[in-house]
Structure 1
Amino acid sequence: MRILALADVHGDHSHIESLLEMAGNIDLVVISGDLTQFGPASEAETVLSMFDVPVLAVAGNCDPKDVNDVIDSSDAVNLHKSVEKIEGVTFIGMGGSSPTPFCTPFELEEDEIEAALEPLFAEAEGTVVLVSHAPPKGLLDDVGGNNVGSTAVAKFIDRARLVICAHIHEARGFARSGDTFLVNPGMAAQGYGALIELEPDNVSVVFLEA
């Protein structure tokens, strides 16, 4: 499965067409949050309309909560607190983020994140991909020497084959924890994305810059 991973659009979708061209033939687009810069929700509608392949998306902490309604009413799948199975792969989603110092529009307490993810993972079968706006604490979450990721998300990563996250702009990159691969594709607003090849026995990543 060839996945174009995008994140942190923040209302600037000017690079997305170029990223699509660079990615070539893809099966799926995954957007791991912050489609808008604190709204309006119509910006998310514009982004979601740019693709002619299936799209899975979660809103980010900088998205007003009505962005969830926009995703629901679009052709994309809203993965927030939900599961979608595609070609034997189980995608699990978590939008928003754990609490930040900035009181952004879409934040969740750690216990709420954990309570939402546990039943989703309990029912998951086959290859599991977690799409979370917030990274797990300790991986792809460094800001000025501090790990600011979600402790709740961190509890589940060993139950996934792949984690696609975002949120921490400085932490664009790739990490591995045991058998789990983690990818932060970087800010689409700055022309960044990632092409992920998900195979039964391997995950490979090519970072794109438009």
Structure 2
Amino acid sequence: MLIQAAADFHGKESRYRTFFQGLHVHNPDVAVIAGDIEPDGLFFKFLDKVDIPVLIVHGNMDSISIGKEIERYENAIFLHEKMYTIDGTNFVGAGGSNPSLDEIYSLSGKKRISLKDARIDVFVTHVPPKGVMDRMSLGFHIGSEWVKKMDKEPRLVICGHVHENPGYAAHGTTIVVNCSVGRRGKYSLININKEIEVNMVE
């Protein structure tokens, strides 16, 4: 499965355009947008033309209310507090600024899924896990502690938020991809099969 992912558009039309044009170049199976979209009309025009699933969580600069607007579009899924399965791969999302483990597990009650028992293949969140792809320019790590406390590690975490630290790294058995385009880059291409391969497209 090929995933095209990005985060931190921050309302810049050039970033929207580059991301959505990339979908036509690479033909991914699914697109992921990991928050801080700050969408405008052009973003939704692009979204309206996409013919693959687009999984989206909100960031700290987005209102959670964007979910209602996003879900007006046929192939767009507001993944916050949801599980979505594509070809046997389970995606779970938690948007916002700093999701806690309790909040993540509470999704089971809200959405009738049991995340404690579920196989989570891909976790989409705005904020990286603490200490992994979360280093600011001053050297501080500003990620969340939640991923280190999960009973079952996901195979892949897709995140953004920290503009200074795009890239990918292993954390235990999990690959963490910070797909932020807030400072540089166009998007990330992630091939998830038996192995996970990541290409940060500049």
Aligned residue number for residue 61 of structure 1:
60
Deviations 1:75-115 (A, max 9, x none): 211110110011110001010112xxxxxxxxx6x365344
Worse overlay, 168-177 or 23-32 = 23-32
Cα distance in structure 2, aligned partners of 1:114 and 1:54? 22
Worse overlay, 66-75 or 2-11 = 66-75
Aligned residue number for residue 87 of structure 1:
87
Q: 1:71 to 1:155 in 2, by over 3 A?
A: farther
Cα distance in structure 2, aligned partners of 1:137 and 1:159? 14
Q: 1:203 aligns with which of 179, 196, 201?
A: 196
The answer to whether the 8 Å contact 1:8/1:32 transfers is yes
Cα distance in structure 1, aligned partners of 2:172 and 2:90? 19
Aligned residue number for residue 159 of structure 1:
153
Q: TM-score, normalised by structure 2?
A: 0.84
Q: TM-score, normalised by structure 1?
A: 0.81
Aligned residue number for residue 104 of structure 1:
none
Q: 2:123 aligns with which of 110, 127, 130?
A: 130
The answer to whether the 8 Å contact 1:60/1:133 transfers is yes
Displacement, 1:193?
Answer: 0.6
Deviations 1:145-171 (A, max 9, x none): 111111124323851000000011111
Q: Which runs of 5+ in 2 are unaligned?
A: none
Identity in percent: 35
Aligned residue number for residue 6 of structure 2:
6
Displacement, 1:43?
Answer: 6.2
Q: Which runs of 5+ in 1 are unaligned?
A: 99-107
The answer to whether the 8 Å contact 2:94/2:104 transfers is no
Structure 1 moving runs of 4+ over 6 Å:
none
Q: Secondary structure at the match of 1:186?
A: coil
Worse overlay, 111-120 or 184-193 = 111-120
- RMSD over aligned CA atoms reads 2.6
Cα distance in structure 1, aligned partners of 2:83 and 2:124? 10
Aligned residue number for residue 33 of structure 1:
35
